């Protein structure tokens, strides 16, 4: 039989993040769900169904060339999304609409030589560093 003290010690050794179902952060008095950039890259690479992020803070650099992403088939809608780090989607072909509303790119946004086969738009959005659309095709 395991003593209650032993069970409590084991429970305390589990990292706090492992017990939490979902992590959140607060930015300008608003609560955002945290999403690792690697998870979003994986979704962009595989998704056939629309991707819609709302009140989400993406943590980590989103770098499509390293992830091997050359084509995004699903529509991609961002609504009040905060990217802490750089978003680089250079040379990516977007086959479905890409829309961003109230989206912040704190580390900048690069879409060099990106190709948009459908609608693209950013409304009430901002980039705190660079915003690069060189050779992008709309």
- More confident: 27 or 119: 119
| Partners of residue 27 on adjacent β-strands | 30
- In a domain, residue 94? The reply is yes
Query: Helices (DSSP H) in the chain: which residue ranges?
Result: 4-13, 16-19, 37-46, 64-67
Which tens digit of pLDDT belongs to each residue from 41-89? 999 999 999 999 999 999 999 999 999 999 999 999 999 999 999 999 9
pLDDT at 9 over 50: no
Place of tokens 């056939």: 48
Higher pLDDT, 23 or 119: 119
**Domain presence at residue 1:** no
- Whether the pTM exceeds 0.95: the reply is no
Q: Evaluate if residue 97 carries a pLDDT over 60.
A: yes
Mean pLDDT for 88-112 is: 98
> Is residue 10 one of the residues assigned to a domain?
no
With respect to residue 59, please indicate whether it lies within any of the assigned structural domains: yes
Residue 77 inside a domain? The answer is yes
Q: How many domains does the chain have?
A: 1
- Structural domain containing residue 52: 21-132
Instruction: Please check the confidence at residue 16 and state whether its pLDDT lies above 60.
Output: no
Q: Give the pLDDT score at 23.
A: 83
User: ∠ CA 81-104-96 to the nearest 5 degrees?
Assistant: 60
Residue position matching structure tokens 């660079």: 130
Q: Is residue 96 part of a domain?
A: yes
Residue 6 has pLDDT above 60, yes or no: no
Query: Quick check: is 44 in a domain?
Result: yes
Q: What is the mean pLDDT of the chain?
A: 89
Cβ pair 93, 117 in contact under 8 A: yes
CA–CA dist 97, 121 (Å, integer): 9
Answer yes or no: is 13 within a domain: no
């Amino acid at each position: 039989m395991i003593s209650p003290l032993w069970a409590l010690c084991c429970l305390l050794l589990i990292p706090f993040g492992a017990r939490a179902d979902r992590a959140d952060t607060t930015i300008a008095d608003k609560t955002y769900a945290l999403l690792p950039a690697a998870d979003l890259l994986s979704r962009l690479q595989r998704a056939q169904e629309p991707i819609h992020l709302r009140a989400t803070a993406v943590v980590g650099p989103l770098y499509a060339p390293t992830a091997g992403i050359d084509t995004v088939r699903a529509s991609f809608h961002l609504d009040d999304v905060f990217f802490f780090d750089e978003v680089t989607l250079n040379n990516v072909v977007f086959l479905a609409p890409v829309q961003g509303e109230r989206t912040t790119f704190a580390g900048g946004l690069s879409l060099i030589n990106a190709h948009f086969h459908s609608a693209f738009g950013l409304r009430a959005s901002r980039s705190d560093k660079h915003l690069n659309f060189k050779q992008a095709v709309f």
